[in-house]
Amino acid sequence: MREYIKEGIKLAVTNIPEDVVSAIREALEREESKIAKYNLEMILKAIDISRKEGIPVCQDTGTPIFFVRTNGPINKIYDEIVKGVEIATREVPLRPNALHVLDGKVIGNVPEVHFEPGKETLISILMKGGGSENCTALFPLTPAEGLEGVKNKVIEHVQSCGGKPCPPIIVGIGIASPAEKAIILAKKALLRRISERHPNEKLAKFERELLEEINSLGIGPMGLGGRTTALDVKVEVETRHPASYIVGVVIQCWAHRRAFIKVSEGGVKIWQ
């Protein structure tokens, strides 16, 4: 499995998914600002070079985050993920992004792995850049504030981040409690394809409205102005405590690197 993990990571960091590329191209067609157009053109050029030459699209190859649904042996799968990340770090190559907090010593790349039960093994990979991760936020709202309160907080937060997360961005939102569940949900939300709406119509409408309001901020590509600040907004919800309405916000940069590995009786499939 470690070889499949390596191949999944390589696919993620060297090949931005086509739904993301299409959204960037559409943004380019909408833009009126010359500098916004230039920035989007350079982003598309970087994506093209990365695909053709098989090299990472960004020097920050990100933190490898895994969501694993499986009925298999968790310890063994975890060990294979760790080994796969080690191989990918050498062979792709990836920048060693794990440093010791106190002395800054380079450790390598340390995967963050989340497990949940499933009938077969599905591994979702999200390579998360540090600049956009710095715009992660957690907001403890009151239940009375509801989705309108979420909207206000997210817009205020995106505006405060400006160009730091390398827009155009994808915004993941998780609403749940306890707090750690909200952040994990927000990251899982980023695994959905661009324009794939939440199956709940109320949340789907909320995603569309929030995307429109974020794009009205004028932050634009790379924070230098323009009509497209975000490519999409994704919301996921789970249960919450009666007294809690915790909102996790996770922002992903334009280099939205994801891949999926499915292991079943029919074999192994890797895709985006």
Residue 268's pLDDT is what? 96
Residue 106's pLDDT is what? 96
Q: Measure the CA–CA gap between 248 and 170, rounded to whole angstroms.
A: 14
pTM (predicted TM-score): 0.96
CATH 3.30.360 spans which residues of the chain?
A: 1-16+57-129+255-272
Fold classified for 1-16+57-129+255-272:
Dihydrodipicolinate Reductase; domain 2 (3.30.360)
Residue 266's pLDDT is what? 87
Residue 265's pLDDT is what? 86
Residue 187's pLDDT is what? 98
**How confident is the chain (272 residues) per 10-residue block, as mean pLDDT?**
98 98 98 97 98 98 98 96 98 98 97 96 97 97 97 98 98 98 98 98 98 98 98 98 97 98 94 98
